[in-house]
Amino acid sequence: MVRVPNRTAAARAITQVPRANHALEFCDAVTFSDDLVPGPPIRSISNATLFEKDSYMAISDKTRKLLWGKSGNRCAICRRELVIEATSLDDESVVGDECHIISGQSSGPRHEPAFSQDLIDEPENLILLCKVHHKQIDDQHETYTVELLRLQKANHERWVSEKLSEEEQQPAPIRVRRIKENIPAMLVRIASGQDLLRATDNTLALAVDHGSPSTESEMELVSGFFQQLQDWDDIGNDLGPGERIRMEFQFTERLKELEAAGFWLFAAREVRRLEGGIAQPTAFPTVILKLVRSTDPGIQSINLKPHDAPQEKDPKNISS
């Protein structure tokens, strides 16, 4: 028994007891002594009168980390972020609460006497909420029942887990990959606009390679040719046959200008593979174009005609 001189001292004694001792839970009663202070006869106040014996323990740091981690730093009802970034003048602000689904206090919301006090502060009995929804579920505890809050908690934590999994499974970057067996060994010389447009038909990209022009006029000639070819590749499928004939003629004239300047054009088609993203890999037909000087040592002369065909001057080819 603890003896204190009067009620004021009793109140002071209660507040000074360490929290770990559960506010006088270790003693049987507090007695006011009328030997020290005149007044009514001695009377005892039980522990239950001074405090609520079933008050819950503090939530552990480990439990807090589990709750905040599984909840993704968001309210389980509105999904608002619960840590506000610091400003130039102030630190971060935490606007979230660790809320009990079943209260550990007999007068608390959703209290269940049969629920073990050892489970009150376990992660399964806690839900992370913003301060608005914390107050709402406690004020409206008939609406926000134990079953409803458990379901809300489970759905929210599953949503967080799925979102994090989506981020971990980001699709691979989109790229165009060359396939070894599809790479052409030789490029064939293109001498007419008709051959050039046939080489570019139904392709998705131009792979252009050219040497460095040595004069400004060569620069204008080469850049103008490839720009016109790119424009054709962008809109060629939308033009009618008459326009195609005009383009074939124009490209033949351009090829003659390049040849007069000492350049030859070589081409070949190659099927590459488009990979990455969320779609399945698909074929990516590409035309390879290589503009070189006619004196380039890489140019080879190969007979591509059948043996029984009339022999003509061999077409020119170049290694790819």
Q: What is the pLDDT of residues 223-263, one digit of tens each?
A: 999 999 998 888 877 778 899 999 999 999 999 999 999 99
Q: What is the pLDDT of residues 124-134, one digit of tens each?
A: 999 999 999 99
Q: What is the largest CA-CA distance in the chain?
A: 138
Q: Give the pLDDT confidence score for residue 319 in this predicted structure.
A: 64
How does DSSP classify residue 268?
E
- Using 50, 70 and 90 to split pLDDT, how confident is the model at 318? low
Spans of all domains in the chain: 2-50, 61-168, 175-319
Nearest-angstrom CA–CA distance, 68 and 81: 11
Q: Is the pLDDT of residue 55 over 50?
A: no
The arithmetic mean of pLDDT across residues 181-192, rounded, is: 93
Q: Give the pLDDT confidence score for residue 58 in this predicted structure.
A: 84
- Using 50, 70 and 90 to split pLDDT, how confident is the model at 316? low
Nearest by Cα to 267 from 202, 223, 206: 206
Q: Which range has the worst mean pLDDT, 172-176, 203-207, 315-319?
A: 315-319
Residues 6 or more apart whose Cβ sits within 8 Å of residue 118: none
Nearest-angstrom CA–CA distance, 130 and 108: 19
Q: How far is CA 214 from the centre of its chain?
A: 48
Q: Is the pLDDT of residue 168 over 90?
A: no
Q: Is the pLDDT of residue 56 over 80?
A: no
- CA Rg, the chain, in Å? 42
Q: Is the pLDDT of residue 65 over 50?
A: yes
Mean pLDDT estimate for the chain: 81
Q: Which range has the worst mean pLDDT, 33-37, 47-51, 281-285?
A: 47-51
Q: What is the pLDDT of residues 140-158, one digit of tens each?
A: 999 999 999 999 999 999 9
Contact criterion met (CB below 8 Å) for 233 and 225: no
Q: Residue 264, Cβ neighbours under 10 Å: how many?
A: 20
Nearest-angstrom CA–CA distance, 8 and 39: 14
